[in-house]
Chain A
Amino acid sequence: MRRRNVLPGLPLSLGVTLFYVGLIVVLPLAALAFKAASLGFEDYWRIVSSSRSMASYRVTVLSALGATAFNLFFGLSLAWVITRYRFPGRRIVDAVVDLPFALPTAVAGIALTALFANSGWFGSVLEGFGIKVAYTPIGIMIAMCFTSLPFIVRTVQPVLEDLDPALEEAAQSLGGSDWTIFRKVILPLLAPALLAGVSLSFARCLGEFGAIIFIAGNQPMSTEITALLIFIRLEEYDYQAAAAIASVLLLAAFFMLAVTNWLQARALRYTVKG
């Protein structure tokens, strides 16, 4: 079938890999799934569909959608500006984009809270317009925006860099306006990468914890995210409820992982040059 492989080390390297992945990744997740499954359907359903759980899914998903939508525009503009324009400070902007990944989430959480609290730099200004951010769902959204921004920038940026100028020139020579060319030529080429970035960003928002708990009010039914509800159930020693709700987040993560992989495979298929 294939040419004979002469390289050594398959048993050792594959053995180490499988052992580590099994012990560190698969075993704990399987234990969680097992624990959730051992609840029995009725109990499981009662916990995951309780009004407090449902409210937590609602605020988590809606905030994640809002944050991802904002990051879609901001991230695309940021990637566009970094790759297409030359201006002083460009390299600094390019480097700073990774800050949300490098900065620990708890640090980001207290920093954003300080900025957006009523007495903070931004909070006091927004207060003048009657907008409260800290301890409201908007705060959750802002924390999610911060932690997931680099995903979209970093997935779109390489595609934007590799974009063939000849395509634009052809469209220009045919008399297309900038906006038309962007919409009809550039955007379709960016779309797969953009979607992959969006799904990564959304998945990250769903699971985010550290940055959010400081800025969210953490009030049940209104500003309590799902990850926090799991944590609260643990503190109450209600391990079954924690397992059940955690399994919902885990399923959501697997779903998003599948979507991302599918989108990335598509993105690669369209960017491969012959």
Chain B
Amino acid sequence: MSNLSTRRKPPRVGDAPLFRRSLIGIVLVLVAFVIVAPLVIIGVEAFSKGWQLYRDTVIHPDTLHAVMLTVLAALIAVPINTIFGIAAAWAITKFDFWGKRFLLVVIEIPFSVSPIVAGVAYLFVYGLQGLFGPWLDAHDIKILFAVPGIIIASMFVTAPFVARELIPLMQAQGRDLEEASTSLGASGWRTFFAVTLPNVKWALLYGVILCNARVMGEFGAVSVVSGNIRGQTNTLPLHIELLYHDYNATGAFAAASILALIAVFTIIAKVALERQGAGRVRKQANPAEKTS
């Protein structure tokens, strides 16, 4: 890099020093105000009444229960979504079938649908006014306003996360390696674990981490289907809202700081994985590079 820069390159568009400096300045100030300040204020507010109160909120049984429930939701929803993502990527990238493009669009739907709409939709499937509600009620199975509802609503919201990372990468890698592997006699599973998986492991992990962050932070869909029962069906984001509306802002920020910390770790993991090449292919995936 340093020996390259000794060769004077012609200035590119926007490289005039004054313009360059002021644009960087404006952008940095806006980033500080719009993106960094909200993160900073969470820490400031959480500790505004001292370490003691922070500790009390975080180890309060209701908070701990909310943490447990959030972790439980992630532990179930993320692996299921991962299996789905792998299956969808395998089917879509290794085979040609009618309706493939449509299937791709359907998988992406949860990204565009408001989480509130998702929550309402689940109400009309599993709620008492819904399709299966009366049957579930008659058999005393609780899905809505209970833990299963929280988990399936989270699954809806995060359904595309893993698939979206895998599909462009596996598309770009083509089918040759897998075809060679099976023609040499390896089984489908062996081909997947020995050939495909090593090639996509970073992208897979990348999708899993983003999926996990979203499951843990999901608010809208979960708030519709959870019933918000303190100590029972309160996930961490819902618990934050509850504390906040109880005029316990400091407590709300203390609980929020846990999620903010997870968000920061998610970003660090994301950057680390991008260094391994994950997340890059999606951006440049295009049909022309298929054979590279």
Contact = CB atoms under 8 A, between A and B. Distances in A.
Interface of A: 2, 5-10, 12-14, 16-18, 20-21, 24-29, 31-32, 34-35, 74, 77-78, 80-81, 84-85, 87, 89, 91, 93, 95-108, 110-112, 114-115, 120-122, 145-146, 149, 154, 157-158, 162, 165, 168-169, 172, 178, 181-182, 186, 203-204, 206-210, 214, 227-228, 230-231, 234, 239, 242-243, 246, 249-250, 253-254, 256-257, 260-261, 268, 271-274
A208 B10 CA distance: 45
A74 B117 contact: no
Interface of B: 10, 12-16, 19-20, 23-24, 26-28, 30-31, 33-39, 41-42, 45, 83-84, 86-88, 90-92, 94-97, 103, 105-110, 112-118, 120-125, 127, 129-131, 152, 155-156, 159, 175, 178-179, 182-183, 187-188, 191-192, 210, 213, 216-220, 223-224, 236-238, 240-241, 244, 249, 252-253, 256, 259-260, 262-264, 266-268, 270-271, 283-284, 286-288
B187 A243 contact: no
Give the residue among A27, A31, A106, A111 with the most B Cβ atoms within 10 A. A106
Given A107-B259, A246-B121, 20 more contacts: A6-B179, A7-B95, A7-B191, A8-B187, A13-B88, A17-B107, A20-B87, A29-B121, A31-B124, A32-B121, A96-B36, A104-B219, A106-B217, A107-B260, A186-B13, A234-B120, A246-B117, A257-B105, A261-B105, A268-B287
Contacts of B263: 99, 102-104, 107
B117 A99 contact: no
Contacts of A122: 33, 37
Nearest to A258: B105
Contacts of A34: 124
A141 to B, nearest CB: 12
A103 B187 contact: no
A106 B241 contact: yes
Contacts of A27: 125, 131
A157 B220 CA distance: 29
Given A24-B152, A115-B41, A104 B237 contact: yes
A227 B114 contact: yes
Nearest to A36: B124
Contacts of B238: 106
Given A7-B178, A99-B263, A112 B38 contact: yes
A242 B120 contact: yes
A84 to B, nearest CB: 6
B88 A106 contact: no
Contacts of A145: 34
Contacts of A214: 241, 244
Nearest to A1: B96
A166 to B, nearest CB: 11
Contacts of B28: 89, 93
Contact of B240 (A2, A8, A80, A110): A110
B102 to A, nearest CB: 11
Nearest to B80: A20
Contacts of A81: 23-24, 27
Given A87-B24, A271-B286, A210 B219 contact: yes
Given A105-B219, A253-B112, A100 B35 contact: yes
A16 B84 contact: yes
Nearest to A257: B112
Contact of B110 (A5, A25, A162, A228): A25
Contacts of B220: 105, 209-210, 227
Contact of A102 (B20, B175, B213): B213
Nearest to A81: B27
Given A111-B41, A273-B288, A209 B271 contact: no
Nearest to B152: A24
Given A8-B187, A104-B218, A112-B38, A168 B249 contact: no
